[in-house]
Amino acid sequence: MFTIHYTLNRIIELVNPSKIQGKLDVDVFTGIAGLNKAKTGDISFLGNQKYKAEVFGSKASLILVPESYIGSPHPGQALLMVENPSKALDAICRDIELQCKKPLPTGIHATAIIDPSARISPKAYVGPLCVVGPNTIIEEEVCLQAHVVVGEEVLIRRGTFVRPHCSILDSTEIGCNCFIDAGVVLGSEGYGYETENGCHKRSPQLGRVVLEDAVDVGANTTIDRARFHETRIGEGTKIDNLVQIGHNVVIGKHCFIIAFVGISGSTTIGDYAVIGGQAGLTGHLCVGNHVMIGAQSGVNHDLEDNSFVRGTPTLPYMLAHRIDALKRRLPELFRRVDNLEKTFAYLTTDTTKACFLSKDERKN
């Protein structure tokens, strides 16, 4: 846990508030906490309007609130009005991180196993029990923490950070300033088989994985090598934990891929897409730019640019909402139909019909 020691003046420098309400009874802030967990001396923020009611009861000394917020601080408390409280808090946290960040080590740990043909910058770090294969290139300011396995003919460019127990397999290319979290597998075997005479035979996967610059890959995510050519992740894309990306998938620039997403082989995703947690995409799809896919969706058809969808199979977001609302009314609808059927059956019995006959018809 980070220890902080911030004055109000330093916070103002970092977040540039449009207005300040209240008067503090502390000189420094020593922690960051949620609205309902904060205590005196803490900084908190209102990042989601659903927690607006918690601002009034919060014990935080300083609260970042949106400029539209209406309310007054408690005695000894201050409210900083900012355009975006979440981004303002990020600015504070980045400053804390920079202060706490230790210089990256350099060199090769004595227990690492390095192939003689590998080229490792003297400004890189290869940690304990790492393995680096033949003809691999590791550039300056790369950090491989303990137990990282790097295969043959891998390229890891400047400034990339790799957490423990990652496997970066043959022919993988990683761009500059990427972040690879613990347990990630890059270049795993693509899932491809042909059935012959009742037996499943593996199709050779001869391609590679390419990560462009500034890609983040969350813990225990797997990205399969291509059957041929490459699986590619675009610049600035951020992938969460436990995501499966199949062979020959191409993901564009600056996408968000949230936890437990599964993307089947040969699917192409455009730039700035957002895919919610537990969504699944079938293979050979074309998903456009700026597409948003809701959590737990099942995508089995192409999506045009700027689509906003959810559900299984996916439908336009608001249409899916309306259908869900109608589904909740189905029990009531069935009861009404059942009552109508019973009423109709009653009205059409012979006895009931007689009530509607004329006098002459009754005589006959």
CATH number at residue 225: 2.160.10.10
Cβ pair 44, 58 in contact under 8 A: yes
Domain-located, residue 292: yes
Domain-located, residue 279: yes
Look at residues 286, 289, 293 and name the one whose alpha carbon lies nearest to residue 309. Answer: 293
CA dist list (Å): 133 to 118, 246, 335: 7, 24, 69
pLDDT at 76: 93
For the chain, how big is the Rg over CA atoms in Å?
30
DSSP secondary structure letter of residue 61: S
Pair 253, 173 in one domain: yes
Look at residues 96, 34, 80 and name the one whose alpha carbon lies nearest to residue 60. Answer: 34
pLDDT at 358: 56
User: Which of 80, 100, 120 is at the close of a domain?
Assistant: 100
Measured distance CA(242)–CA(182) in Å, rounded: 11
For 270-280, write each residue's pLDDT tens digit. Answer: 999 999 999 99
Known catalytic membership, residue 247: yes
Pair 176, 257 in one domain: yes
For residue 13, the surrounding DSSP H or E stretch is helix 8-15
Based on the structure, what is the number of domains in the chain? 2
Pair 170, 310 in one domain: yes
- What is the signed CA dihedral for 234, 236, 237, 242, rounded to 10 degrees? 120
Pair 295, 178 in one domain: yes
Pair 64, 179 in one domain: no
DSSP string, 254-267: T-EE-TT-EE-TT-
Look at residues 113, 206, 117 and name the one whose alpha carbon lies nearest to residue 153. Answer: 117
Domain-located, residue 76: yes
Domain-located, residue 361: no
pLDDT at 348: 79
Residue 312's CB is within 10 A of a number of other CB atoms, namely 13
| Least confident span in 33-42, 68-77, 175-184, 351-360 | 351-360
Look at residues 315, 282, 313, 280 and name the one whose alpha carbon lies nearest to residue 295. Answer: 280
Pair 185, 311 in one domain: yes
Pair 91, 208 in one domain: no
User: Which of 100, 119, 143 is at the close of a domain?
Assistant: 100
Pair 77, 217 in one domain: no
pLDDT at 357: 54
Domain-located, residue 220: yes
User: Which of 100, 123, 147 is at the close of a domain?
Assistant: 100
Question: If you average pLDDT over every residue of the chain, what do you get?
Answer: 93
Measured distance CA(11)–CA(223) in Å, rounded: 40
For the packed helices 317-328 and 330-347, what is the interaxial angle rounded to 10 degrees?
Answer: 50
Domain-located, residue 160: no
Pair 93, 183 in one domain: no
CA dist list (Å): 321 to 174, 276, 334: 40, 16, 21
Identify each DSSP E strand in 67-160 by its residue range: 78-82, 107-108, 113-114, 119-120, 125-126, 131-132, 137-138, 143-144, 149-150, 155-156
Q: Find the catalytic residue in 147, 247, 290, 321.
A: 247
Pair 182, 307 in one domain: yes
Looking up tokens 């003809």 gives 135
User: How would residue 108 be classed by pLDDT, with cut points 50, 70 and 90?
Assistant: very high
Domain-located, residue 109: no
For 58-95, write each residue's pLDDT tens digit. Answer: 999 999 999 999 999 999 999 999 999 999 999 999 99
CATH of the domain at 79: 3.40.1390.10
Q: Which amino acid is at 358?
A: S
The yes-or-no verdict on residue 354 having pLDDT over 60 is: no
C-alpha triplet 253, 257, 263: angle, nearest 5°? 100
Pair 186, 293 in one domain: yes
The phi and psi torsions of 263 (rounded to 5 degrees) equal: -120, 115
Domain-located, residue 80: yes
Pair 216, 74 in one domain: no
What's the domain range around 69?
6-100
Measured distance CA(3)–CA(30) in Å, rounded: 7
